[in-house]
């Protein structure tokens, strides 16, 4: 049985929950706040509706990765769930938003997956790198939304 990855980070973003959720839920905005994502191309009409798909190209740990995310669930302003069955390993990404005081939003970012083969052996190191990158991504989102 392979070891699963299940990492959650959160940050209070200094912007209104509606603005944070709308910006972050739009997969087309990912290169603006995800440091490792180089590009996003929509495979469907741009949307946050269930079934919307976008192809991502990322650079992570000196490797180029290509994968497609599909929206699985979207409750505007509250939660977005998307997943990929291709790329480095099957992964589910979850965004949760809640109020954190006037003009502030608590955003929780979760990545879950189950790597197979050689990647499973690297999971302890990969988990550390993923947590660091996810924390930096939320900090960048905060910066972008305050501009």
pLDDT value at residue 59: 85
- In this structure, what token pair is assigned to residue 19? 């603005």
Q: Report the distance separating Cα 20 and Cα 24, nearest Å.
A: 6
Q: What CATH number belongs to 5-146? A: 3.30.530.20
Closest to 11 measured CA to CA, from 142, 146, 145: 142
Residue in the block written with tokens 């944070």: 20
Give the mean pLDDT of 100-106.
96
| Res. 2: pLDDT tops 70 | no
Residue in the block written with tokens 């994502």: 37
Give the mean pLDDT of 121-139.
85
Bigger pLDDT: 114 or 20? 20
Model pLDDT for residues 51-100, shown as the tens digit of each residue: 999 999 998 767 788 899 999 999 999 999 999 987 667 899 999 999 99
| Res. 37: pLDDT tops 70 | yes
Q: Report the distance separating Cα 116 and Cα 88, nearest Å.
A: 9
Sequence-distant (6+) residues with CB within 8 A of 88 are 60, 65, 67, 115, 119
| Res. 48: pLDDT tops 80 | yes
**pTM score:** 0.90
Which residues lie across from 109 on neighbouring strands? 9, 95
Banded model confidence at residue 119, pLDDT cuts 50, 70, 90:
low
pLDDT value at residue 1: 45
Q: Report the distance separating Cα 79 and Cα 97, nearest Å.
A: 6
Contact 53, 47 (CB under 8 A): no
- Tell me the Cα Rg of the chain: 15
């Amino acid at each position: 049985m392979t070891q699963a990855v299940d990492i959650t980070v959160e940050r209070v973003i200094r912007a209104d929950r509606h603005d944070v959720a709308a910006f972050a839920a739009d997969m087309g905005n990912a290169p603006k706040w995800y440091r490792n994502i180089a590009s996003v191309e929509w495979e469907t009409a741009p949307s946050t509706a269930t079934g919307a798909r976008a192809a991502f190209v990322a650079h992570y740990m000196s490797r180029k990765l290509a994968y497609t995310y599909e929206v699985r669930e979207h409750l505007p302003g509250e939660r977005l769930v998307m997943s990929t069955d291709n790329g480095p390993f099957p992964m589910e990404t979850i965004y949760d938003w809640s109020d954190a005081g006037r003009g502030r939003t608590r955003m929780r970012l979760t990545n879950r997956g189950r790597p197979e083969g050689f990647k499973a052996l690297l999971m302890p190191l990969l988990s550390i790198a993923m947590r660091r990158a996810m924390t930096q991504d939320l900090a960048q989102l905060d910066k972008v939304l305050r501009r």
